[in-house]
Structures are given as structure tokens and as C-alpha cells.
Chains A and B, each alone.
Chain A
Amino acid sequence: MLFTTDKQTLEDLNIFGKYGGESVYNIFNRTISRGGASLMEDMFRHPLSDHLAINRRSEIIRDFAQAGTVYPFSAMLFDAVEPYLSNTDERTKLSADDQSISKKLADMIAADGNMQMVYKGVQSLVEILQGIQSFISGGEGGAAYEADRNAISTLLSAPAFSPVLAHRGKLSHATIAAYDILFRFRYREAIQQLLHYLYYLDVYLSVAKVAAERGFIFPAALARDTCKANVEGVYHPLLKKAVPNTICITAENNVLFLTGANMAGKSTFMKSLSIALFLGHMGFPVAAAKMEFSVLDGIYTTINLPDNLGMGASHFYAEVLRVKKIAQELSMGKHLFIVFDELFRGTNVKDAYEATIAITNGFAGKRNSIFVISTHIIEAGEVLKAQCGNVHFVYLPTRMEGLRPVYTYMLENGITNDRHGMIIINNEGILEMLAGGLTKMK
């Protein structure tokens, strides 16, 4: 089964960001080659749902991170190779006897763009082939990378490449013409496969570098069906002073019911946990101290549901449709990670109260998925406590220092009893203002 997610989730978690701003992708993307960058984007768009594949990738990255391996190629090489290889026009082949006096004279006046492209492409590829040869013969990468090493080695062992690998010094025009035919036409397939491995290597080393720099850890993926997420010291990778939290989710408490004041950090915690699980399913390192999780089939968050239209019932209806979509996915037997921030905030508190109880109760029946639900309707928590055994109540506290609220951002067990609605209204002095105006007018 493929790991599924959707646009809403990618936006909620700021996976790709908007207009080139900060994003999770940008944290990890230190790739050198454009091919590496687009491969990484592809990995973000398609997380894995097989724990063996996840662990393999994460081991490769971990080994590179520990060794501090550096990508042996510069961006310039790929800039030359990419347009060169994409040009498959036979007429751009160099001819060996093209070095007539008149041609040389012509080149002195204005260089032939096509010939330059071929020259640079061939020279760069020779450098790349030789570079990757020495990279793998040096035994770089750990045990998990061995399959890739062997595959690269097999590709390089083609007899046609041996003069290329053995070549030293400047390339003559005739040699370039010969290699051009080799690279672009006869062994095109092999060259592209090699580049493919180089892009993977680029991604691995880019992620490894970030992991080492930021102290990210490599979670262990467990087989599907165990419903487990053990996350210690998880924090938001995009925040400067993020506070870490620890949460342990099992089939016995797979519904997290999160309460707390508005500024107490509910959304941030939910995003931190979601991003960690998202990256975990990519085999990427995460912003946590320790983590293991059983593999899920998908992740759906509802944190900033856009409320367009402005018609009374529309936001509530948008939320209802979102819940329905997720209920449909769940009813297909999928194991999902589901997040709802301020569930049913689009309607009046009374409807929200009833609906929160009914939906949370429904979710609680799905023991193979993990749910995180935040709400202001603390009254709903009391009812759920009595009805469901597998709901785990946590809250983010607010401490009042005089009239000023202070937030710890540290999860605690239970339901908050903070009632800040009236405190906020009193702090704004609305009732005094109205009482005062009346006396003035009399």
C-alpha cells in the first residue's frame, strides 16, 4: 500500500512552504545537483510505507552522518552534464576530422556553442565517472549502502568505460568526439543510471549533513499493525526556541485529547509530532531525542482549514466534510495518523460540544490508527473520560503571574481547567469601559 497524504497536510505542516519561505523541505535540501533536489522533493511527496525500506534509507543516511562524508562533486559538473545529456540530436555529434584550419579560425572569432556544450559535457562526465569510481573503491558509506556501491561498480565495469576511467591529462578533440558517442548514445542508459545513483547519494549526504549539524536522530520503524509511536523529546524543527515533549502512544491510548489555552502551544505540539512522523516515514532524521514508530498507511492533518465563503454554516460544513473524508479512509481499513486542531471551531459551542464527543468516540473505535484532537471544549473531555478507555488526556498549561499568562509548552496529563475566556475579556477592560461610559453620559 502506498503512503497517502494530501495538500491540506503538506500545507499544515509547512512541508514545502510558500513562495520559497521557510519549510521542512528547505531544512534538508542542501543538495548540490538539481537532480538531487528534485529527487528529494519526490521523497517528500511520497513517504514510504514499508518499515524495511524506511530503515534501510535511514541507516544509509545515519552511516554517512556519522562518517561526515562529503559529496565529491561540485554543482558546476552537473550544470554541464544535465543539458548535455538531454540533447540527443545526432547532428550535434562532433566529427573527428572537424579540426580544419578554417574551423579553427572560425572558432577564434566566435566559439561554436554546440561544440562547447559537448566539450564541457564530456569533460565533466569523465571527471564524474572517475570521481565516483574512487568514491566507491574507497568504500565510502556503511553496510546499508553496499547494494548501491555494488550497483555503481557493476555499471562502471563496462569495458567501454575502462579507457575513460584510466584517462589522465587533457582530452584531445578526437577523444572527446569518441566519448561523446559513448556517453550520449551508445551507453546513454548506463550513464543515466549512474547519475541516478549520484542524485540519491546527493540526497543522502545532504540529509546526513543536516542531521549531524542539527543533532537530529534516526527513528526506528517497526512493522505495521502494532500501533505504536514512542516519541521522546520531540520539537518543531522550524522554531528557534522549541520546547521538547515526550509522548508514548499505544493501541491502549491511541486517541490523544489535547486541551490548553490558545497561546499554550497546542498547534505547535501537533505540528512537531506530525512532522516527526512524516519524516520518519521518509526514513529521514527527526527533531527528537529518541523515536520508534509502527509504520502507518498515511497521515492527514487539519490544522488551518481555510474558511472561504463566509457563509454562516460553511466553516462547520467544511470541517464535517473533512471528517467524513477521513472516516471514509479509515473505513477502508487504513492505519492512519490523524490530527484535528480545534475540531469544530467553526460552529457554536453547543454544537461543537456534541459533535466533538460523537466524532472522538467514533475515532476511538479505530484501534489501529493514531488520533490527536485538540479542542477548547473542555466539557467534552469529561464525557469522553467516562465513555472511552483508550483516550489519553493531555494538556498544555498556562500559569498566571498576576494578570499575565505564562506558558510552559510542556505536556501534562489530564484536562486543563484553565478558563481564560473571561480573564481575557476582563484584561481588555471591556465591561469597565461600558460601565464608565454610562456614568459619563448621565
Chain B
Amino acid sequence: MSMSFTADKQTLEDLNLLGRFKPNSIYYLFSKIKTTGGERLLEQMFQQPLIDPDAINKRSATFRYFQERQLSFPISGEQIKLAENYLTMGGGSGLSFILRKKLHAFLNDDGYEKLCAGLVATIDVLRTFRDFLQLLPDYEEAVALRKTLSDISWLDNANDFSIMTVAQYDRQLRHHHQAAMEQVLEGIYQLDVYITVSDVARQRGFHYATALPAFPAVFRTTALRHPALPAGISNPVSLDENANVIFLTGANMAGKSTLMKSIGVALYLAHMGFPVAAADMEFSVRDGLYSSINVPDNLNMGYSHFYAEVLRVKQVAAEVSAGKNLLVIFDELFKGTNVKDAYDATLAVTAAFARYHNCFFVISTHIIEVGDALRQDPGIQFRYLPTILEGAIPRYTYLLREGITSDRHGMTIIENEQILALLKD
């Protein structure tokens, strides 16, 4: 078994998970962090989802705790930046600045002034943080942090900033208490992440998923939507060892890809202990997540779209047959070939994967005949996203239904553009 939850580059791109500067990414949704250290921590959490259900539940409990308290981060971005710069300042000692100040008092050297400002800001941050921790009686990490801060006995009395006392405080904070300061900064960063993420959850109506052991395999939610679509329609999704495949049909714009992405994103966020865009959710931990939604053509290497898809399926088959517990998402496999081969290939591949009851599969296609051929397989759930035609205008409900649909709109799109009429005259 792997030691961490895996989602490869293609999957991360399909689901648009990462990307601090991509305005539509899932990361961006949560990226309201105030401190650079907090940003680093958030990035780390996104890079390494957890696989231990206890660790996941512990983290999500902490988020929930903060969400219930509705606290706002007590330290301004300006203050924390000054303190960070001061505490991580190179050169080891502020003594040289102080000596220079004494020797060349008449010279214009702002090293000392900067040192002073950083020190004052840091003392202010430490006091604020200490007071804030009082508000979190049940926050586990607060105990150690409170103890550390109370060891700095002079913190409340530091009001006089003469050259001699500055030298003293500076030495204390940046040498004597160096390890403690690192611990405090880390504590502040964590707090930043907890408050920010739980704020997003509150504002967007996200909830926390419960992580369960890998066996028996389940994934259950009564109402799941896409986190980046605030007005998105929710749908129930339920997978377990006896019903491990969702066979999804529907027209192009009916919302198949969005639904499949919602499932993938929820599972990924849940493994991070993060809030998910669902009313409720429980899931057994997985070893990873693979999707094939927008397979890049890689025409440079002479690969056709079809061959690129075959290679992607092969890669997933290797992981599945190695015994990993995965969620696999295949959106409209085997484009770029003829109808017969697309049918044969979709059927053969779906049937072969479906036998892995330890894995979950969500597979969409337009080839409804494949569904007819798979009807007898009890492990396969047939679901579709409907289209309602109002005259020639298609309307979509985005509400998942049981069964198979033959809705397609390729020709409707062509007819709406009136291309055939253009060619007639």
C-alpha cells in the first residue's frame, strides 16, 4: 500500500485542484490566507492529502471547532510580516546595529530603527496571540503554546525601549527563545489556515466528511455539488463494494463532467480533512484518485487522441490490478475512433474494471448500447442527467435520475447554428 494519497498531474488538472493563481482552481477557493507561512502550510496540505482516517478526522474536527467559534484572525498582515522579518532576520545578532548606533549616532543608519520596529511588532504579536489563545480552551495545540509564551516573563513589562533594553530583548527573543519563536510562528500559521478554511466553509455552506477505514469500501453523500459553483444543484452519490460502478449517460451540456468532477474534488478535499461541498459525506480512505476527463492529445509525439486515451486507461489498469483502492473517473472514453471500436472498447474496459469491487468507478459515455450489454451486472448503477426540450431549446435539470438516456445534442447545436441552411442555397 502506498504511504500517501496519490492523484497524478492529469487528475489534478482535470479537477482543477491546484494553482494558487488560477482563479477557478479549488485551491484558489480556500486561498484567503493572511500569512506567507500559512500559505505555505495550505499548499502543503493540498500537496499531501492524508490516508489515515484518524488523522483526517482529527484535522476536520479542528476545522469544525474553529468554524463553530466564528473567530477572526487577530493579527494584522502588516504586524505579522514585521515580526516574521524580524525573527528570521539574518546576521544572528542585532548587536552590530546597536554598537553602530552608539558609535555613529550622528550618521544616518536605519538598521537600528528597523530592528526596533521589528522588535516592538513582535512583542505586540506575541501578546495578541497569547490573549487570543485564551479564547480557545479546547484547542489542543493551545496548551503548549500558552506554556511557551508564559515562559517569556518580561513580555508584559516591555514598555521602555532604550538602547540597553532593546539589546536585552533582542537577545532574549532571537537567541534565548529562538526555538520557542519558531513554535509560535508555526502556531500562528496553523491558526491562520484553520480560521480561513473554516470561514470559507461557513460562507459557502460546506460540511465535513467522516473518514472510515479502507474496508468495507463506501462513499456516501445525500447531496453533493461542485464547490466552485455556489448555485450548483446537489445530487446523492452512493458507492460501495456491491455497487461500485456508476454508468453515467446524458447530453453534452447536461452536466456529466461537472458531476464527475464534483465527486473527484469531494474525495480529494475529504482526504485533506477539508470541508466538502456536500450536506453530509462519509468515505472509506482510498489510496488515490485517477481521472480521464480531458486527455491531452500530445500530437507532438505522434499520438492520436485515441492512443492517448488507451495509454491513460492502461496506466489506471496497472494501478487497479496492483491491488490499490482507488476512485477512477472516465469521461467519454475512446473518442477519435469508429463507432464499432468505441463500443467494443468501452464495453470490454468497463466490464473488466467493474470486477474490482475494492475500487469505485464513474464512467460516462454516449454509447448507450454498452449500458444495455451491462444491464445484468448487479454492481453497476445506471444513472443519467436529463435534458428537457422546450421547443428546440434544450433545458437541463442537473438532477441525477436512475436509468440510461439516449439524449444527444450534436445535431441540435449544428441546427441552431443554421449551417445546413447556409449550405443549401
Chain A interface (Cβ < 8 Å from any Cβ of B): 262-263, 304, 307, 310-313, 316-317, 320-321, 323-324, 327-328, 330-331, 342, 344-355, 358-359, 362-363, 365-366, 376-379, 419-422, 424-425, 428-431, 433-438, 440-441
Contact = CB atoms under 8 A, between A and B. Distances in A.
Interface of B: 252-253, 256-257, 294, 297, 299, 302, 304-307, 310-311, 313-314, 317-318, 320-323, 331-332, 334-342, 344-345, 348-349, 352-353, 355-356, 358, 365-367, 408-411, 413-414, 417, 419-420, 422-425
10 contacts: A312-B331, A320-B419, A324-B417, A344-B410, A347-B335, A349-B335, A362-B419, A379-B338, A428-B314, A433-B318
B338 A378 contact: yes
Given A362-B420, A422-B344, 19 more contacts: A262-B304, A312-B257, A320-B414, A324-B419, A347-B410, A348-B335, A349-B337, A351-B366, A359-B419, A359-B420, A421-B334, A421-B338, A425-B313, A429-B314, A433-B314, A434-B317, A434-B321, A434-B353, A440-B321
A317 B420 contact: no
A362 B353 CA distance: 42
A331 B355 contact: no
Nearest to A441: B323
B337 A421 contact: yes
How would you classify the secondary structure of chain B's contact residues: helix, strand, loop or mixed?
helix
Per CB-CB distance, the 8 closest pairs between chain A and chain B, nearest first, are A437-B321, A421-B341, A351-B410, A362-B423, A348-B366, A262-B304, A327-B422, A434-B352
B425 A262 contact: no
Contacts of B342: 349, 421
Contacts of B338: 349, 376-379, 419, 421
B314 A320 contact: no
A350 B422 contact: no
A323 B419 contact: yes
A362 B297 CA distance: 29
Contacts of A359: 414, 419-420, 423
B306 A350 contact: no
Contacts of A435: 352
Nearest to A353: B339
Contacts of A353: 339
A421 B349 CA distance: 12
A66 to B, nearest CB: 39
Most central of B353, B413, B417 by chain A CB within 10 Å: B413
A320 B367 contact: no
B423 A352 contact: no
Contacts of A350: 339, 366-367, 408, 410
Given A422-B344, A425-B349, A430 B314 contact: yes
A362 B366 CA distance: 25
B376 to A, nearest CB: 19
Contacts of A438: 321, 355-356
